[in-house]
Structure 1
Amino acid sequence: MHAFRAIPTSLGLTAAIGLAAAMLPGTASAASFPELAAKGYQISPMTKSRGGRAGWIMRGTRDSYFCVLVPGMVRAGNGYVSLSTSAYETPASKAVIDRVTGGAGLNLPQLADLKAGRVPPQKVGRCFFYR
């Protein structure tokens, strides 16, 4: 106990924080969608994580990753919808789409394709290790 009294408080606090961080379990590993796709990982239909985030499970031979949906506008049949992070669909008008995308609404992916797992890389966010 006397040995710790000789250590300055700030140094002791720094050492304690470093020791605590070293004892914590490792952070979730992240990967990118293009990297996983290039390695041959299979993509599932759209699903939700335990926390309610929409995305896709990428399955490899030994491990799996959950890749989150990037929220934004998509085509739904002949109309448009805005997707939230939980895949909640809000109808949007053509005028709104043209204003938001600058008239590039035709390049938006189809909602049915996203739900089926046919996903363009720009609609996929980070991928986290999934067990």
Structure 2
Amino acid sequence: MFPKQFNDCIFFGAVACVLAACQTAGGSSSRYEVLKSQGYKTGSLTQSASGSAGWYLSGDGKRIFCQARGGVTYVGETGMVILIPTSGRMLKVDREAYHKHQGVTKTDAAQLSDLKAGRLRPRDVGRCTFVSN
């Protein structure tokens, strides 16, 4: 019905809106770094009671939930998803089309397997909140 360029524009406009909505407040990664330096252990990617995607950190008799920072994530060598932290959902994206639209051949996105296993970079972590003792 519409020209292909129009459909591409709508798709990538929607992707940009999702990515903008995924961003959490800055400065949270420093809290994660402090907790890790204090010996807190990071669990695997999970969902909180409210459905947010993230990781439970445990140590010193306390549990803290750190929300995932949303954005694009690589899946293996050819796949890509957009992680939406507030709902814990992942949207599959065409990796080649994404890179072509961005004008790059590769981005500095994390591998989904690393996020699932709790192997995090500070930039992958959003806000951290105390859960329980």
Q: What does 1:1-131 correspond to in 2, within 5 Å?
A: 32-77=31-76, 78-85=78-85, 86-93=87-94, 94-100=96-102, 103=104, 105-131=106-132
- 1:48-90 per-residue CA deviation (whole Å, 9 max, x = no partner) reads 1111001000101221110001111000112111111133121
Conserved 8 A contact 1:80-1:97: no
**Count of paired positions:** 101
Give the greater-gyration-radius structure (CA).
Answer: 1
2 CA distance for matches of 1:108 and 1:36? 23
Distance 2:90 2:62 in 1: 31
CA RMSD of aligned residues (A): 1.9
TM-score normalised to the size of structure 2?
0.68
Relative to structure 1, is the Cα distance of residues 58 and 79 closer, same or farther in structure 2, using a 3 angstrom cutoff?
Answer: same
Change in 2 beyond 3 A, CA 1:98/1:63: farther
Q: Deviation string for 1:97-129 (max 9, x for gaps)?
A: 4535x5263421110110111111111001100
Opposite residue 55 of structure 2, the aligned amino acid is W
Identity over aligned pairs, percent: 34
Q: Distance in 2 between matches of 1:121 and 1:42?
A: 14
Aligned partner of 2:23 in structure 1 is none
Where structure 1 has 5 or more consecutive residues not aligned to the other structure, the ranges are 1-29
Amino acid corresponding to residue 81 of structure 1 in structure 2: V
Give the secondary-structure state (helix, strand or coil) at the position aligned to 2:114.
helix
Unaligned runs of 5+ in 2: 1-27
